[in-house]
């Protein structure tokens, strides 16, 4: 007699995968029904667009100064930065343009000094023009900045704020969801139908989908803002760093989400969440402040780009300014993935051992031992 084929393993895996996606869909649907979440997301996107537009307009070159000059002094004035030269026939024509406010000033050959010039102005001394025409020693920069320092600072703020806002917002959301299910005893019904780790996986995946959707929307808004402000060169330079940021953020968020879930499972009341999640909040805030404060320090940025909690911000910034070799993001990503796997295992163990324990806060070592 032939025995029936054994299909329990495949069926169990399929059922677990289906349960994970059901939990993930539940997490996504609950957030999309929340007006507070939608409003907060809208504010974040508008703030990102405003930041890109303001940064773009600030980085644009100022309106050139209109300067009148004769044929003898025009070559000198044309060599100055950010000026628009209007050639005149003589001093009288230059004076007329200055008095009529058609030019900021006029630069004419000095009558008593064949090699010098004289500046005509209506009221105030144009200090910037005086300084530009003054003879200064030649300067040779041995290690010039590869990017504009202001642009470098703005990019560091951009990556840092996105990581900080998304990780802290969704991390707190996961923690509140876990504790709410414990308080209402809903978790007892859930784990009677699905394994504890399946519930955890669904929560992490659902919130990861929402976080990555926000990242993609922010990237799209940044692209639109850069195009509107005519910053095509910046857009071209941000292409690869933004893609790397998305990849690093994915694993960095899963790492934090797993730890947030485990930390939240250790308490049974909403007011106690901060006692277990505060260390994780510090790990989220550290990349933001460290990258902002040390964005121009190559040694510190190199170290931060290999630390799993700061790599999602530090490495894209280094890629943007051209300080990272091609192999560095790969090595950093490997370290992040390994740390992410370890965090998933630790977070899952804490979550599984603490989820049904009500009352007083579960100590970390007890949660790890089970």
Residue ranges of the domains in the chain? 24-57+145-369, 65-133
Query: Residue 247 in contact with residue 333, Cβ under 8 Å?
Result: yes
pLDDT in tens, the chain (370 residues): 344 444 444 566 678 888 899 999 998 998 888 888 888 888 888 887 887 777 666 666 567 778 888 888 777 777 777 778 888 888 888 888 888 888 888 888 877 666 578 888 887 777 777 777 766 556 665 556 667 777 788 888 888 888 888 888 888 889 988 998 888 888 888 888 888 889 999 999 999 999 999 888 988 888 888 887 777 777 778 888 999 999 999 999 999 999 999 999 999 888 889 889 998 888 888 878 888 889 888 899 999 999 998 999 999 999 998 889 999 999 999 999 999 999 999 999 999 999 888 888 888 888 888 6
DSSP one-letter string for 60-97: SPPPPEEEEE-TTTHHHHHTSTTEEEEE-SSHHHHHHH
**pLDDT tens-digit readout, 36-83:** 888 888 888 888 788 777 766 666 656 777 888 888 877 777 777 777
CB atoms within 10 A of CB 18: 12
- Whole-angstrom distance, CA of residue 38 vs CA of residue 59: 32
**Closest to 258 measured CA to CA, from 195, 207, 209, 184:** 207
Cβ neighbours for 240, distance < 8 A, ≥ 6 positions apart: 319
CATH code of the domain made up of 65-133: 3.40.190.10
Look up residue 280 and give its two tokens: 């994780």
DSSP H/E element including 57: helix 35-59
The three-state secondary structure class of 204 is helix
CB atoms within 10 A of CB 335: 14
Rounded (5°) CA angle 351-356-357: 95
Question: Could you tell me where the DSSP H helices lie in 267-327?
Answer: 273-293, 298-304, 311-321
- Whole-angstrom distance, CA of residue 348 vs CA of residue 16: 16
Look up residue 357 and give its two tokens: 């324990």
């Amino acid at each position: 007699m032939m025995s029936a084929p054994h299909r329990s393993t495949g069926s169990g895996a399929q059922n677990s995968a289906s349960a994970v996606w059901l939990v993930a869909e539940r997490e996504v649907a609950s957030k999309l029904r929340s007006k507070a979440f939608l409003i907060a997301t809208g504010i974040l996107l508008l703030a990102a667009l405003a930041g890109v537009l303001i940064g773009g307009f600030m980085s644009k070159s100022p309106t050139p100064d209109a300067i009148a000059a004769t044929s003898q002094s025009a070559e000198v004035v044309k060599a100055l930065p950010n000026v628009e030269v209007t050639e005149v026939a003589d001093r009288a024509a230059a004076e007329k343009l200055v008095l009529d406010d058609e030019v900021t000033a006029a630069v004419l050959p000095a009558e008593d000094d064949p090699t010098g010039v004289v500046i005509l102005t209506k009221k105030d001394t144009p200090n910037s023009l005086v300084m530009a025409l003054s003879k200064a020693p030649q300067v040779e920069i041995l290690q010039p900045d590869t990017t504009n320092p202001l642009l470098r600072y703005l990019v560091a703020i951009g990556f840092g704020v996105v990581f900080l806002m998304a990780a802290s917002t969704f991390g707190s959301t996961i923690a509140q969801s876990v504790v709410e299910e414990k308080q209402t005893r809903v978790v007892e019904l859930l784990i009677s139908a699905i394994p504890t780790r399946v519930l955890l996986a669904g929560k992490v995946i659902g919130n990861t989908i929402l976080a990555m959707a926000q990242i993609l929307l922010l990237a799209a808004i940044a692209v639109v803002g850069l195009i509107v402000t005519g910053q095509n060169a910046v857009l071209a330079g941000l292409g690869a760093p933004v893609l790397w940021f998305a990849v690093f953020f994915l694993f960095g968020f899963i790492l934090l989400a797993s730890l947030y879930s485990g930390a939240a499972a250790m308490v049974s009341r909403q007011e106690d969440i901060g006692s277990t999640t505060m260390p994780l909040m510090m790990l989220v805030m550290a990349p933001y402040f460290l990258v902002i404060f040390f964005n121009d320090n190559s040694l510190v940025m190199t170290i931060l780009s290999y630390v799993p909690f700061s790599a999602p911000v530090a490495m894209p910034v280094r890629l943007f300014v051209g300080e990272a070799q091609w192999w560095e993001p790969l090595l950093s990503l490997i370290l992040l993935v390994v740390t992410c796997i370890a965090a998933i295992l630790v977070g899952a163990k804490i979550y599984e051992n603490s989820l049904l324990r009500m009352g007083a806060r579960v100590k970390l070592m007890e949660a790890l031992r089970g």
